[in-house]
Structure 1
Amino acid sequence: MAKSQLPDAILVDKYVAGDENALAILINRHQSKIYGYIYSKVSDRDVTEDIFQETFFKVIHTLKSKKYYNEEGKFLSWVLRIASNLIIDKYRNDKKMPLNRDTDELLIFSRITDDSLNIERKLIKNQVEIDIKTIIEKLPHDQKEVIMMRYFLDMSFKEIADFTGVSVNTTLGRMRYAITNMRKVIEKNKIYLPS
Structure 2
Amino acid sequence: MKKQLIDDSILVGRYINGDEKALEILINRHSQKIYSFIFSKVFDKDICEDIFQDTFIKVIRTLKRGSYNEEGKFLPWVMRIAHNLIIDHFRKNTRMPKFEGTDDFNIFSVLGDSSLNAEKQIIKDQVDNDVRSLINELPNDQKEVLIMRMYKDMSFKEISETTGVSINTALGRMRYAIINLRKIIDKNSIILTS
Q: TM-score range by the shorter chain?
A: 0.5 to 0.7
Contact 1:88/1:148 (<8 A) preserved: no
The superposition leaves residues 63-106 of structure 1 with CA deviations (integer Å, 9 ceiling, x where unpaired) of 00111x22222111110110000001111111133245xxxxxx
Asked if 1:27 is matched to 2:27, the reply is yes
Structure 2 alignment gaps of length 5 or more: 132-192
1:61 maps to which residue?
61
1:15 maps to which residue?
15
Distance change in 2, residues 1:155/1:76 (3 Å): farther
2:97 maps to which residue?
98
Give the secondary structure class of the aligned counterpart of 1:5: coil
1:175 maps to which residue?
none
2:106 maps to which residue?
111
Distance change in 2, residues 1:146/1:109 (3 Å): farther
Contact 2:30/2:75 (<8 A) preserved: yes
CA distance in 2, matches of 1:71, 1:7: 14
Deviation, structure 1 residue 43: 1.0
Q: Please, what TM-score do these two structures have when normalized by structure 1? A: 0.56
2:82 maps to which residue?
83
Deviation, structure 1 residue 38: 0.7
Contact 2:111/2:124 (<8 A) preserved: no
Asked if 1:145 is matched to 2:145, the reply is no
Contact 1:16/1:63 (<8 A) preserved: yes
Deviation, structure 1 residue 144: 5.0
Deviation, structure 1 residue 46: 0.5
CA distance in 2, matches of 1:48, 1:140: 22
Give the secondary structure class of the aligned counterpart of 2:37: helix
1:116 maps to which residue?
none
Structure 1 alignment gaps of length 5 or more: 101-107, 114-128, 157-177, 180-195
Contact 1:99/1:110 (<8 A) preserved: no
Distance change in 2, residues 1:144/1:97 (3 Å): farther
Deviation, structure 1 residue 31: 0.7
CA distance in 2, matches of 1:155, 1:4: 39
Give the secondary structure class of the aligned counterpart of 2:27: helix
Distance change in 2, residues 1:133/1:76 (3 Å): closer
The superposition leaves residues 9-33 of structure 1 with CA deviations (integer Å, 9 ceiling, x where unpaired) of 0000000011111000000111111
The superposition leaves residues 150-193 of structure 1 with CA deviations (integer Å, 9 ceiling, x where unpaired) of 445x389xxxxxxxxxxxxxxxxxxxxx94xxxxxxxxxxxxxx
1:71 maps to which residue?
70
Contact 2:90/2:111 (<8 A) preserved: no
CA distance in 1, matches of 2:79, 2:20: 21
Deviation, structure 1 residue 109: 8.5
Q: CA-atom RMSD, angstroms?
A: 3.3
